[in-house]
Amino acid sequence: MNEVLKAVGNIFLKMPKGFVVTFKHLFKKPITLDYPRKKNPMTARYRGKHYLERYDDGTERCVCCGLCAAACPADAIYMEPEENEKGERRAKMYEINLLRCIFCGFCEEACPEEAIFLGQVYEFSEDNRNSFIVGKDDMLVPHPRKDNPLKRIYRRVRRVYGVTDKSK
């Protein structure tokens, strides 16, 4: 009988004591992220999915020199050059196999034309392996850029003063 009373007493005395911790956390700010709706801002030098830059007049910066492919430790880059209408060199085919890529950023370092950059995009899951081989069309930034004028000014500021862009 005594033991029964002791057990009942425990329920009312010790359980609330334990729940205090639980209820305390209810009112704290959560440390997890509401992921698909909210996204984590990446660090400025995060190395995500590659993109290919253009000149201001829209011509591709990439001349298909092959230095990124030569620098790539994972042998993830494949390219084929061709001649454009003026007789200048440009890429006919530029492919990166994102499954092989180790996102080391050597291609960005090697590029003499400042054409390839590793961007902030990290969401590129696919349901088949072939889709991970991304071509030139997937990587070239659109021309003219679709984003708003403020962003354009911001990018110029970034270029001039070395401030990093967090949106791309």
Binding site for other proteins (CB under 8 A): 63-67, 70, 80-83, 86-89, 112-113
User: Quick one: 49 or 60, whose CB is closer to other proteins?
Assistant: 60
User: Quick one: 48 or 81, whose CB is closer to other proteins?
Assistant: 81
| Residue 73 beta carbon to other proteins: minimum distance, rounded to whole angstroms | 15
H/E stretch holding 81 reads strand 77-83
Residue 127: both structure tokens together = 């349901």
User: Quick one: 29 or 86, whose CB is closer to other proteins?
Assistant: 86
Q: Which pairing describes strands 89-97 and 77-83: parallel, antiparallel, or unpaired? A: antiparallel
H/E stretch holding 133 reads strand 133-134
| Residue 146 beta carbon to other proteins: minimum distance, rounded to whole angstroms | 28
CA–CA dist 33, 8 (Å, integer): 40
| Residue 82 beta carbon to other proteins: minimum distance, rounded to whole angstroms | 6
